[in-house]
Amino acid sequence: MIKSVLKGMVIGIANIVPGVSGGTMMVAMGIYDKLIHCITHLFSEFKKSVLFLLPIAVGMLVAIGASSFGLTWLFDNYPIQTNMLFVGLILGGLPAVLKKVKGQKIRAGHMVAGILFFALVVVFAAMGETSGNDADLTFSLVNVIILFAVGIVASATMVIPGVSGSMVLMLMGFYYPVINAIKDFFTALKDFNMTGILSGCAVLIPFGLGVVAGIFGIAKLVEIIFARFPLYAYWAIIGLIVSSPIAIIIMGAFPEITLVSVLTGAVALAAGFVVALKLGE
Protein backbone atom coordinates (compact mmCIF):
# COMPACT_ATOMS: atom_id res chain seq x y z
CA MET A 1 0.00 0.00 0.00
CA ILE A 2 2.70 2.49 1.04
CA LYS A 3 4.80 1.57 -1.99
CA SER A 4 1.81 2.20 -4.28
CA VAL A 5 1.21 5.60 -2.66
CA LEU A 6 4.88 6.48 -3.22
CA LYS A 7 4.61 5.44 -6.87
CA GLY A 8 1.55 7.64 -7.20
CA MET A 9 3.44 10.57 -5.69
CA VAL A 10 6.29 10.19 -8.19
CA ILE A 11 3.78 10.05 -11.08
CA GLY A 12 1.85 13.04 -9.69
CA ILE A 13 4.98 15.17 -9.42
CA ALA A 14 6.04 14.13 -12.93
CA ASN A 15 2.70 15.30 -14.32
CA ILE A 16 3.32 18.75 -12.83
CA VAL A 17 6.81 19.25 -14.26
CA PRO A 18 6.92 20.57 -17.86
CA GLY A 19 8.98 18.23 -20.03
CA VAL A 20 8.52 15.23 -17.71
CA SER A 21 6.01 12.55 -18.71
CA GLY A 22 3.71 10.98 -16.14
CA GLY A 23 3.24 8.06 -18.52
CA THR A 24 7.00 7.52 -18.63
CA MET A 25 7.11 7.44 -14.83
CA MET A 26 4.33 4.82 -14.85
CA VAL A 27 6.60 2.70 -17.04
CA ALA A 28 9.56 3.42 -14.75
CA MET A 29 7.53 2.35 -11.71
CA GLY A 30 6.66 -0.92 -13.47
CA ILE A 31 2.89 -0.36 -13.31
CA TYR A 32 1.97 0.96 -16.76
CA ASP A 33 0.44 -2.21 -18.23
CA LYS A 34 -1.48 -3.07 -15.06
CA LEU A 35 -2.69 0.50 -14.57
CA ILE A 36 -4.07 0.65 -18.12
CA HIS A 37 -5.76 -2.73 -17.60
CA CYS A 38 -7.38 -1.63 -14.32
CA ILE A 39 -8.68 1.59 -15.89
CA THR A 40 -10.21 -0.18 -18.90
CA HIS A 41 -11.64 -2.99 -16.73
CA LEU A 42 -12.72 -0.80 -13.81
CA PHE A 43 -16.34 -1.95 -13.84
CA SER A 44 -15.83 -5.58 -14.89
CA GLU A 45 -13.10 -6.08 -12.26
CA PHE A 46 -14.23 -3.35 -9.87
CA LYS A 47 -12.81 -4.48 -6.51
CA LYS A 48 -9.44 -5.56 -7.92
CA SER A 49 -9.09 -2.39 -9.98
CA VAL A 50 -10.06 -0.03 -7.13
CA LEU A 51 -7.63 -1.69 -4.72
CA PHE A 52 -4.84 -1.15 -7.22
CA LEU A 53 -5.79 2.35 -8.42
CA LEU A 54 -6.86 3.98 -5.14
CA PRO A 55 -3.46 4.23 -3.37
CA ILE A 56 -1.84 5.43 -6.60
CA ALA A 57 -4.56 8.08 -7.02
CA VAL A 58 -4.13 9.18 -3.38
CA GLY A 59 -0.37 9.52 -3.89
CA MET A 60 -0.90 11.54 -7.07
CA LEU A 61 -3.37 13.92 -5.41
CA VAL A 62 -1.10 14.47 -2.42
CA ALA A 63 1.90 15.11 -4.66
CA ILE A 64 0.03 17.46 -7.00
CA GLY A 65 -1.30 19.46 -4.05
CA ALA A 66 2.13 19.68 -2.40
CA SER A 67 3.93 20.31 -5.69
CA SER A 68 1.80 23.34 -6.45
CA PHE A 69 3.49 24.95 -3.42
CA GLY A 70 7.01 23.51 -3.28
CA LEU A 71 8.07 22.42 -6.76
CA THR A 72 8.58 25.94 -8.08
CA TRP A 73 10.90 26.64 -5.13
CA LEU A 74 13.01 23.56 -5.90
CA PHE A 75 13.35 24.47 -9.58
CA ASP A 76 14.16 28.09 -8.71
CA ASN A 77 16.80 27.23 -6.11
CA TYR A 78 18.13 23.83 -7.25
CA PRO A 79 17.31 23.59 -10.98
CA ILE A 80 20.20 21.31 -11.98
CA GLN A 81 19.70 18.87 -9.11
CA THR A 82 15.91 18.78 -9.52
CA ASN A 83 16.08 18.24 -13.29
CA MET A 84 18.75 15.56 -12.90
CA LEU A 85 16.59 13.78 -10.32
CA PHE A 86 13.83 13.46 -12.90
CA VAL A 87 16.29 12.37 -15.57
CA GLY A 88 17.40 9.59 -13.22
CA LEU A 89 13.82 8.59 -12.46
CA ILE A 90 13.08 8.32 -16.18
CA LEU A 91 16.24 6.41 -17.11
CA GLY A 92 15.65 4.06 -14.19
CA GLY A 93 12.60 2.75 -15.99
CA LEU A 94 14.50 1.90 -19.18
CA PRO A 95 15.85 -1.53 -18.07
CA ALA A 96 12.31 -2.78 -17.36
CA VAL A 97 11.16 -1.83 -20.86
CA LEU A 98 14.27 -3.30 -22.51
CA LYS A 99 13.43 -6.63 -20.88
CA LYS A 100 10.13 -6.60 -22.80
CA VAL A 101 11.94 -6.64 -26.15
CA LYS A 102 14.98 -8.69 -25.12
CA GLY A 103 15.44 -11.76 -27.32
CA GLN A 104 12.89 -10.53 -29.86
CA LYS A 105 13.88 -10.00 -33.48
CA ILE A 106 14.25 -6.29 -34.27
CA ARG A 107 12.40 -5.31 -37.42
CA ALA A 108 12.72 -2.10 -39.42
CA GLY A 109 9.24 -1.08 -38.28
CA HIS A 110 10.31 -1.31 -34.64
CA MET A 111 13.21 1.06 -35.24
CA VAL A 112 10.97 3.45 -37.16
CA ALA A 113 8.53 3.52 -34.23
CA GLY A 114 11.34 4.26 -31.77
CA ILE A 115 12.91 6.98 -33.92
CA LEU A 116 9.55 8.56 -34.75
CA PHE A 117 8.48 8.92 -31.14
CA PHE A 118 11.97 10.02 -30.10
CA ALA A 119 11.72 12.84 -32.64
CA LEU A 120 8.17 13.70 -31.55
CA VAL A 121 9.23 14.48 -27.97
CA VAL A 122 12.31 16.45 -29.01
CA VAL A 123 10.29 18.54 -31.48
CA PHE A 124 7.66 19.30 -28.82
CA ALA A 125 10.38 20.41 -26.40
CA ALA A 126 12.16 22.46 -29.07
CA MET A 127 8.94 24.37 -29.72
CA GLY A 128 9.65 25.99 -26.39
CA GLU A 129 7.22 27.01 -23.71
CA THR A 130 4.80 29.87 -24.00
CA SER A 131 4.18 32.02 -20.97
CA GLY A 132 1.76 29.29 -19.89
CA ASN A 133 -0.21 32.08 -18.31
CA ASP A 134 -2.58 33.25 -21.03
CA ALA A 135 -5.87 31.50 -20.24
CA ASP A 136 -8.82 33.29 -18.70
CA LEU A 137 -10.45 31.12 -16.01
CA THR A 138 -13.29 33.50 -15.16
CA PHE A 139 -16.38 31.40 -14.43
CA SER A 140 -18.70 31.11 -17.43
CA LEU A 141 -20.39 28.33 -19.39
CA VAL A 142 -17.91 28.73 -22.25
CA ASN A 143 -14.93 28.49 -19.89
CA VAL A 144 -16.42 25.41 -18.20
CA ILE A 145 -16.65 23.68 -21.59
CA ILE A 146 -13.11 24.82 -22.48
CA LEU A 147 -11.72 23.56 -19.16
CA PHE A 148 -13.42 20.19 -19.70
CA ALA A 149 -11.87 19.93 -23.19
CA VAL A 150 -8.45 21.01 -21.90
CA GLY A 151 -8.70 18.36 -19.16
CA ILE A 152 -9.33 15.69 -21.82
CA VAL A 153 -6.30 16.77 -23.87
CA ALA A 154 -4.05 17.09 -20.80
CA SER A 155 -4.97 13.70 -19.35
CA ALA A 156 -4.60 11.94 -22.69
CA THR A 157 -1.07 13.27 -23.03
CA MET A 158 -0.32 12.48 -19.37
CA VAL A 159 -1.08 8.79 -19.92
CA ILE A 160 1.03 8.45 -23.08
CA PRO A 161 4.66 7.67 -22.12
CA GLY A 162 7.15 10.32 -23.19
CA VAL A 163 4.59 13.07 -23.75
CA SER A 164 4.45 15.74 -21.04
CA GLY A 165 0.88 16.73 -20.21
CA SER A 166 2.12 19.80 -18.33
CA MET A 167 4.14 20.87 -21.37
CA VAL A 168 1.01 20.58 -23.52
CA LEU A 169 -0.90 22.66 -20.95
CA MET A 170 1.87 25.25 -21.10
CA LEU A 171 1.73 25.42 -24.89
CA MET A 172 -2.05 25.89 -24.62
CA GLY A 173 -1.63 28.69 -22.07
CA PHE A 174 -3.34 26.84 -19.20
CA TYR A 175 -0.37 25.60 -17.15
CA TYR A 176 0.11 28.40 -14.60
CA PRO A 177 -3.60 29.28 -14.35
CA VAL A 178 -4.43 25.65 -13.43
CA ILE A 179 -1.44 25.35 -11.05
CA ASN A 180 -2.43 28.61 -9.34
CA ALA A 181 -6.04 27.41 -9.11
CA ILE A 182 -4.86 24.23 -7.34
CA LYS A 183 -2.66 26.25 -4.99
CA ASP A 184 -5.44 28.76 -4.22
CA PHE A 185 -7.94 25.94 -3.65
CA PHE A 186 -5.78 24.18 -1.06
CA THR A 187 -5.01 27.50 0.63
CA ALA A 188 -8.74 28.29 0.80
CA LEU A 189 -9.44 24.78 2.09
CA LYS A 190 -6.85 25.23 4.85
CA ASP A 191 -8.35 28.59 5.84
CA PHE A 192 -11.92 27.32 5.34
CA ASN A 193 -12.53 30.21 2.95
CA MET A 194 -15.82 29.23 1.28
CA THR A 195 -15.54 31.87 -1.43
CA GLY A 196 -12.09 30.62 -2.38
CA ILE A 197 -13.21 26.97 -2.20
CA LEU A 198 -16.18 27.60 -4.51
CA SER A 199 -13.99 29.62 -6.88
CA GLY A 200 -11.50 26.75 -7.02
CA CYS A 201 -14.27 24.19 -7.61
CA ALA A 202 -15.53 26.23 -10.57
CA VAL A 203 -12.15 25.65 -12.24
CA LEU A 204 -11.04 22.28 -10.92
CA ILE A 205 -14.31 20.31 -11.23
CA PRO A 206 -14.78 20.74 -15.02
CA PHE A 207 -11.04 20.32 -15.56
CA GLY A 208 -11.01 17.22 -13.33
CA LEU A 209 -14.00 15.67 -15.13
CA GLY A 210 -12.22 16.23 -18.43
CA VAL A 211 -9.10 14.55 -17.02
CA VAL A 212 -11.12 11.47 -15.99
CA ALA A 213 -12.86 11.29 -19.38
CA GLY A 214 -9.54 11.62 -21.23
CA ILE A 215 -7.83 8.94 -19.14
CA PHE A 216 -10.59 6.39 -19.82
CA GLY A 217 -10.62 7.22 -23.53
CA ILE A 218 -6.87 7.01 -24.13
CA ALA A 219 -6.43 3.97 -21.85
CA LYS A 220 -8.71 1.88 -24.05
CA LEU A 221 -6.80 2.94 -27.17
CA VAL A 222 -3.47 2.11 -25.51
CA GLU A 223 -4.77 -1.31 -24.44
CA ILE A 224 -5.77 -2.12 -28.02
CA ILE A 225 -2.34 -1.06 -29.33
CA PHE A 226 -0.51 -3.20 -26.75
CA ALA A 227 -2.75 -6.18 -27.52
CA ARG A 228 -2.24 -6.00 -31.29
CA PHE A 229 1.22 -4.45 -31.71
CA PRO A 230 3.13 -5.03 -28.45
CA LEU A 231 6.69 -4.85 -29.84
CA TYR A 232 5.97 -1.70 -31.83
CA ALA A 233 4.46 -0.18 -28.68
CA TYR A 234 7.49 -1.05 -26.54
CA TRP A 235 9.96 0.28 -29.10
CA ALA A 236 7.94 3.49 -29.30
CA ILE A 237 8.12 3.74 -25.50
CA ILE A 238 11.90 3.19 -25.62
CA GLY A 239 12.17 6.10 -28.06
CA LEU A 240 10.01 8.22 -25.77
CA ILE A 241 12.01 7.35 -22.64
CA VAL A 242 15.40 8.02 -24.28
CA SER A 243 14.19 11.39 -25.61
CA SER A 244 12.58 12.56 -22.35
CA PRO A 245 15.88 13.55 -20.65
CA ILE A 246 16.75 15.57 -23.76
CA ALA A 247 13.37 17.32 -23.50
CA ILE A 248 14.04 18.13 -19.84
CA ILE A 249 17.43 19.63 -20.68
CA ILE A 250 15.99 21.64 -23.58
CA MET A 251 13.14 23.04 -21.47
CA GLY A 252 15.11 23.45 -18.24
CA ALA A 253 16.36 26.84 -17.09
CA PHE A 254 19.93 26.23 -15.93
CA PRO A 255 22.03 28.89 -14.17
CA GLU A 256 25.80 29.08 -14.23
CA ILE A 257 27.15 25.54 -13.90
CA THR A 258 29.63 24.94 -11.07
CA LEU A 259 31.59 21.92 -9.89
CA VAL A 260 29.30 21.60 -6.86
CA SER A 261 26.13 21.72 -8.98
CA VAL A 262 27.57 19.10 -11.36
CA LEU A 263 28.51 16.75 -8.50
CA THR A 264 25.21 17.16 -6.64
CA GLY A 265 23.35 16.84 -9.94
CA ALA A 266 25.13 13.54 -10.58
CA VAL A 267 24.14 12.34 -7.09
CA ALA A 268 20.52 13.37 -7.74
CA LEU A 269 20.55 11.52 -11.09
CA ALA A 270 21.92 8.37 -9.47
CA ALA A 271 19.39 8.63 -6.63
CA GLY A 272 16.52 8.98 -9.10
CA PHE A 273 17.77 6.01 -11.11
CA VAL A 274 17.97 3.80 -8.01
CA VAL A 275 14.55 4.91 -6.73
CA ALA A 276 12.95 4.11 -10.11
CA LEU A 277 14.60 0.69 -10.16
CA LYS A 278 13.45 -0.13 -6.61
CA LEU A 279 9.88 1.11 -7.10
CA GLY A 280 9.72 -0.77 -10.40
CA GLU A 281 10.65 -4.09 -8.80
pLDDT confidence bin for 244, thresholds 50/70/90: confident
User: What residues contact 183, with CB distance under 8 A and at least 6 apart?
Assistant: 68, 69
Output b/e per residue, 213-244; b: 16+ Cβ within 10 A.
bbbeebbeebbeebeeeebbbbbbbbbbbbbb
pLDDT value for 88: 84
pLDDT value for 112: 93
Q: Is residue 126 over pLDDT 70?
A: yes
Number of folded domains that form the chain: 1
pLDDT value for 209: 92
pLDDT value for 3: 82
Print the domain residue range for 196.
2-279
Rounded to whole angstroms, the Cα distance separating 109 from 124 reads 23
- Give the mean model confidence (pLDDT) for residues 86-112: 83
- Give the mean model confidence (pLDDT) for residues 142-159: 82
pLDDT value for 37: 87
Q: Is residue 236 over pLDDT 90?
A: no
- Give the mean model confidence (pLDDT) for residues 118-126: 77
CA 79 from centroid of its chain's CA atoms: 18
Rounded to whole angstroms, the Cα distance separating 143 from 70 reads 28
pTM above 0.75, yes or no: no
pLDDT digits (tens, 9 = 90+) for 27-38: 777 788 888 889
Point out the least confidently predicted range of 46-60, 115-129, 176-190: 115-129
Q: Is residue 128 over pLDDT 60?
A: no
Tell me, what DSSP letter sits at residue 174? -
Rounded to whole angstroms, the Cα distance separating 151 from 214 reads 7
pLDDT value for 222: 82
Task: Select from 219, 239, 241, 260 the least CA-distant residue to 53.
Answer: 219
pLDDT value for 131: 46
Write the DSSP assignment of 21-74 as a string of letters.
Answer: -HHHHHHHTT-HHHHHHHHHTTTTTHHHHHHHHHHHHHHHHHHHHHHHHHHHHH
pLDDT digits (tens, 9 = 90+) for 18-75: 656 777 778 777 788 888 889 888 888 898 999 999 999 888 888 877 766 666 677 7
pLDDT value for 281: 57
pLDDT value for 239: 86
CA torsion, ordered 194, 199, 203, 209, to nearest 10 deg: 30
Point out the least confidently predicted range of 39-43, 111-115, 163-167, 255-259: 163-167
